[in-house]
């Protein structure tokens, strides 16, 4: 069979269009950028929309980064803040459309920063540190929550330091572990433990002086005009033995705290905008040494990393009362293993379909696909993904051409 020249040209064109269409259909589409803090700097990874697999993104940033321990991002995903334990600083980076990070400004703290949070309005950055507080008394170092005003991402002078101390135990050493801000910007919550009361291996004086205080606490602060921070009624609230992390839901109704020492998830109902009341059917069982917690952008599911077990525990939230129930995989592994010692976790905001953990001892990220109906997770393609040494923190921002998920459960 012979073809005319015009027929041959038509055939070649058709084949070319078909190949192009197939290549386009199989092309990798980036939906998010994952930023990981490690001893190598701040690394960037791109998330594939279909598989959830990660691939290297923009170049690793080292400028101003010195032993990073925590990160936070603004709600418009334009600004990233990195807390550095090596030089007691918080560094501000602008986030480009393709995930590039550009260093902007830096503030130096009087103590080592521990955790960060930015309010939804993008007007304040909250930093916890074991810096001397302004109103606690006693021989031991205390801890502080400090608010920094933000103007187009730029960090201003500290405006509202607040002391973290326990009434009747003002001389105890308080160690902050996490901070979160309500979506309505009206209250800030901080997890901390009383080292004078929780000090495994400690023997009586003179080696140390045990305290009879409850060891674990959640501090609640009401945000006032000019960013002022005032303790909420009855704050602080008991929080197990060694609270390690916390998260609040997007409807400002619940707060959840992980207890590292008791292997539990503690739930609270938020009353009057800032006071806390225990969920009556809690606490809830986790794996060994829960270290980090995240919530999906719809406010329907909670994910907890278990550092001792190297696993992820998923929970589905009963929206009427906030009760978390373990979400079981219908097929496959029920344990949801990660690499060794996960210390940070986040859910992708673009689709709300992928969960990632930073694994401190294996220098890696583990990825999971989130079932939007049950909350259960299964491993993503080619997980785990290599990172720099000793990753400590992880945040995710959507790619510029993707909208984020609705936060209405």
Asked whether the predicted pLDDT for residue 9 surpasses 50, the reply is no
Which of 60-64, 166-170, 287-291 bottoms out in mean pLDDT, i.e. has the lowest? 166-170
Predicted local distance difference test score (pLDDT) of residue 15: 43
pLDDT band of residue 409 (cuts 50, 70, 90) is: very low
Structure tokens at 362: 């294996």
Predicted local distance difference test score (pLDDT) of residue 136: 72
Predicted local distance difference test score (pLDDT) of residue 210: 81
Predicted local distance difference test score (pLDDT) of residue 24: 36
Is residue 227 within 8 A of residue 283, CB to CB? The reply is: no
* Mean pLDDT on 258-265: 98
Asked whether the predicted pLDDT for residue 3 surpasses 50, the reply is no
Predicted local distance difference test score (pLDDT) of residue 204: 67
Burial of 242 per CB tally in 10 Å (0-12, 13-18, 19+): buried
Locus of tokens 């302004």 = 134
pLDDT band of residue 334 (cuts 50, 70, 90) is: confident
Asked whether the predicted pLDDT for residue 212 surpasses 80, the reply is yes
200 vs 326, higher pLDDT:
326
Q: Which residues contact 349 (CB under 8 A, 6 or more apart)?
A: 32, 77, 297, 396, 397, 398, 404, 405
Is residue 180 within 8 A of residue 302, CB to CB? The reply is: no
Which of 155-164, 236-245, 302-311, 353-362 bottoms out in mean pLDDT, i.e. has the lowest? 155-164
Residue 379: HSE in the Cβ half-sphere, 13 Å Cα cutoff: 16
Rounded Cα–Cα distance for residues 400 and 390 (Å): 29
Burial of 312 per CB tally in 10 Å (0-12, 13-18, 19+): buried
pTM over 0.85: yes
pLDDT band of residue 201 (cuts 50, 70, 90) is: confident
Rounded Cα–Cα distance for residues 200 and 346 (Å): 30
* Mean pLDDT on 222-229: 91
Instruction: Identify any residues that bridge with 305 across adjacent strands, giving them in sequence order.
Output: 292, 312
Predicted local distance difference test score (pLDDT) of residue 159: 83
Kindly state the percentage of the chain with pLDDT values over 70. Answer: 87
pLDDT band of residue 18 (cuts 50, 70, 90) is: very low
Per-residue pLDDT of 174-192, as tens digits, reads 999 999 999 999 999 999 9
pLDDT band of residue 393 (cuts 50, 70, 90) is: very high
Q: Which residue ranges form the domains of the chain, and what is each CATH number?
A: 28-398 (2.130.10.10)
Rounded Cα–Cα distance for residues 269 and 173 (Å): 28
């Amino acid at each position: 069979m012979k073809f005319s020249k015009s027929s041959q040209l038509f055939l070649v064109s058709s084949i070319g269009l078909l190949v192009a269409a197939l290549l386009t259909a199989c092309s990798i589409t980036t939906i998010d950028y994952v930023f990981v803090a490690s001893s190598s700097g701040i690394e960037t990874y791109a998330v594939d929309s279909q598989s959830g697999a990660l691939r290297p993104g923009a170049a690793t940033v080292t400028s101003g980064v010195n032993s990073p321990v925590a990160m936070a991002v603004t709600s418009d995903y334009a600004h990233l803040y990195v807390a550095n334990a090596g030089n007691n600083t918080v560094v501000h980076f602008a986030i480009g459309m393709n995930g590039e990070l550009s260093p902007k400004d830096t503030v130096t703290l009087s103590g080592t920063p521990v955790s960060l949070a930015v309010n939804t309005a993008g007007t304040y950055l909250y930093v916890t540190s074991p810096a001397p507080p302004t109103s606690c008394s006693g021989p031991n170092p205390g801890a502080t929550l400090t608010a920094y005003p933000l103007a187009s991402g730029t960090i201003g002078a500290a405006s509202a330091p607040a002391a973290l101390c326990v009434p009747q135990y003002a001389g105890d050493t308080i160690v902050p572990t996490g901070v979160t801000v309500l979506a309505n910007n009206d209250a800030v919550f901080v997890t901390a433990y009383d080292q004078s009361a929780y000090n495994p291996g400690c023997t009586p004086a003179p080696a140390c002086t045990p305290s009879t205080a409850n060891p674990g606490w959640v501090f609640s602060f009401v945000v006032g005009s000019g960013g002022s921070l005032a303790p909420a009624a009855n704050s602080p609230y008991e929080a197990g033995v060694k609270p390690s992390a916390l998260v609040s839901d997007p409807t400002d109704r619940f707060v959840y705290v992980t207890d590292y020492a008791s292997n539990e998830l503690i739930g609270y109902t938020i009353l009057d905008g800032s006071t806390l009341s225990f969920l009556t059917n809690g606490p809830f069982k986790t794996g060994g040494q829960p270290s980090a917690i995240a919530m999906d952008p719809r406010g329907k599911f909670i994910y907890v990393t278990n550092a001792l077990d190297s696993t992820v525990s998923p929970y589905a939230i009963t929206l009427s009362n906030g009760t978390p129930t373990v979400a079981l995989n219908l097929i496959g592994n029920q344990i949801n293993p990660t690499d060794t010692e996960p210390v940070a976790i986040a859910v992708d905001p673009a689709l709300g379909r992928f969960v990632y953990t930073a694994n401190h001892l294996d220098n890696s990220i583990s990825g999971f696909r989130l079932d939007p109906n049950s909350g259960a997770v299964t491993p993503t393609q080619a997980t785990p993904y290599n990172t720099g040494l000793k990753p400590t923190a992880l945040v995710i921002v959507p790619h510029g051409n993707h909208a984020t998920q609705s936060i209405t459960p």
